[in-house]
Amino acid sequence: MLNDIKSVLYDEETLKEICNNLGKQISEDYKDKNLLLVSVLKGSVMFMADLMRSITIPCRIDFMAVSSYGSGTESSGIVKIKKDLDINLSGYDLLLVEDILDSGKTLYNLRSVLSLRNPKSIRICTLLDKPERREADIVPDYVGAVVPDEFVVGYGLDYDEKYRNLPFIGILSPHVYEK
Ligand code: IMP
Ligand code: MG
């Protein structure tokens, strides 16, 4: 598996630091609010687990699964809800927790769908941001790190459902998807 990684972008220690900083900021910003963290599966699973541990105010969590990618590296732009939320959003300050914001189409569509359910507010927290690739009109409120326009895997992020279990984030070697 490690042979498929061109280089390591963020090691475990750096990721921990990123989560701690975001958690601190979110705890401050939401101290008088009714925070609901919504993790967009599956890519944000490790990020969510670390981020919620660094949040020091009461909050609730829920999970949702949408699909936008096939097995390639380009977004289809079509969002299909594969697993919906259990919690009714009315009265909550919703914070969407994403792994990576690329074209932004997935989150743009997801945000539109969720805002129809009358949450008090909706914001976006993404671990990684690839602003060069943005096509949809969406600006994240919290960003862990800005990454170059390369395909990254690990710490929850996949290529063809693989590499999610790597504890760090690395750049996928092009030989893997140029086959
Ligand atoms: P968007 O709709 O183009 O913003 O795509 C967002 C989704 O595409 C993310 O939630 C990821 O699942 C996936 N994605 C985008 N870029 C990467 C990447 O570099 N590595 C792994 N997954 C990615
Ligand atoms: Mg994803």
List the residue whose alpha carbon is closest to atom 11 of ligand 1.
Answer: 100
What positions carry a catalytic annotation? 102
44 Cα nearest atom in ligand 1: 10
Q: Measured in angstroms, how far is the CA atom of residue 32 from the centroid of ligand 1?
A: 32
Cβ of 106 less than 6 Å from ligand 1: yes
Cβ of 68 less than 6 Å from ligand 1: yes
Which pTM was predicted?
0.94
Q: Can you spell out the DSSP letters for the chain?
A: -GGGEEEEEE-HHHHHHHHHHHHHHHHHHTTTS-EEEEEEETTTHHHHHHHHHT--S--EEEEEEEE---SSSS-----EEEE--SS--TT-EEEEEEEEESSSHHHHHHHHHHHTT--SEEEEEEEEE-GGG--SS---SEEEEE--SS-EEBTTB-BTTBSTT-SSEEEEPGGGT--
Cβ of 50 less than 6 Å from ligand 1: no
Give me the tens of pLDDT residue by residue for the chain, a chain 179 residues long: 899 999 999 999 999 999 999 999 999 999 999 999 999 999 999 999 999 999 999 999 999 998 765 555 566 666 789 999 999 999 999 999 999 999 999 899 999 999 999 999 999 999 999 999 999 999 999 999 999 999 999 999 999 999 999 999 999 999 999 87
Domain range 12-149, CATH class: alpha beta
